[in-house]
Amino acid sequence: MTTDGMGTEDFTGRVALVSGASRGIGYAIAAALLVRGAAVTITARKADELAAAADELAHTVEGGADRVLAVPGNAGDGAARAEAVDRTVERFGSLDVLVNNAGTNPAYGPLMQVDLIAVRKTLDVNVVAALGFVQQAHRAWMAEHGGVVINVASVAGLRSTKAIAAYGMSKAAMIRLTEELAWELGPSIRVNAVAPAVIKTKFSTALYTHGEEQVAKAYPLARLGTPADVAALVTFLASDAACWVTGETVRVDGGLLATGPLR
């Protein structure tokens, strides 16, 4: 990678792995990297949805079939993470960009009423699995060759909210994980996070279907985010243009946190 501050978002010759990429934010990130020249491995739990996503991605660019690999598996399963990383390196010859996007949110409401089994699952998928992917990528490629890690966190990890308290707790841990990894893995590996507010995906439907227009009024930019909004920031942070940025969590929230506490 260049270090003169003049890098671009050209990923030709680079290889990315994106977890939770069969739809929504993960799919948009994979698509953005693919059209910028990267070869991309996508992972997700549901094999049929993942295969359909891979087929769609392969048809978005010329020669896409040669640059898209689908590896189904649960991010919380260590064997599945190892398979995704190993098959990526075997197929494409490297692993330059890891995007930890897989996440879950099985528990809503305040912490005093939350099911602790759901909390454990949330932390395991949102935090432990992310670290597991980094460990695997580090062993398989990045320790020797360097690379970039992008963690998809949330504004709920930056400000308190009663609605998704356990999820916010897990994303706060992911933000702290990002800082620790940036310190531990530098200078050859950069680690950053993005913190979206409400993005219009199936995952976040419950947060805005009761009235999207009313929810959007809380945002200075007067709309909810889209997966493409997040993907644009991720590709910048993964690119040479961000070669002196590490350990950061960058909000992509339409100005929401500038207005005060989440509500």
Q: Establish if 263 belongs to a structural domain.
A: no
Q: Establish if 200 belongs to a structural domain.
A: yes
Q: What is the rounded distance in angstroms from the CA atom of residue 204 to the CA atom of residue 236? A: 24
- Please pick, among 27, 108, 167, 208, the residue that the annotation labels catalytic: 167
Q: Mark whether 167 is an active-site residue.
A: yes
Spatial neighbors of 149 by CB under 8 A, at least 6 apart, are 97, 98, 99, 100, 134, 137, 181, 185, 189, 190, 191, 192
Count of domains observed in the chain: 1
Residues of the chain with pLDDT under 50: 1-7
Which range marks the domain in which residue 34 is found? 15-253
pLDDT of residue 203: 64
CATH code, domain with 143: 3.40.50.720
Q: Establish if 192 belongs to a structural domain.
A: yes
Q: What is the rounded distance in angstroms from the CA atom of residue 205 to the CA atom of residue 52? A: 22
Q: Establish if 1 belongs to a structural domain.
A: no
pLDDT of residue 3: 42
Q: What is the rounded distance in angstroms from the CA atom of residue 34 to the CA atom of residue 23? A: 15
Model pTM? Answer: 0.94
How far is CA 233 from its chain centroid?
11
pLDDT of residue 207: 56
Strands, E assignment, the chain = 15-18, 39-44, 68-72, 97-100, 147-152, 189-196, 249-252
**Tens-digit pLDDT profile for residues 133-181:** 999 999 999 999 999 999 999 999 999 987 899 999 999 999 999 999 9
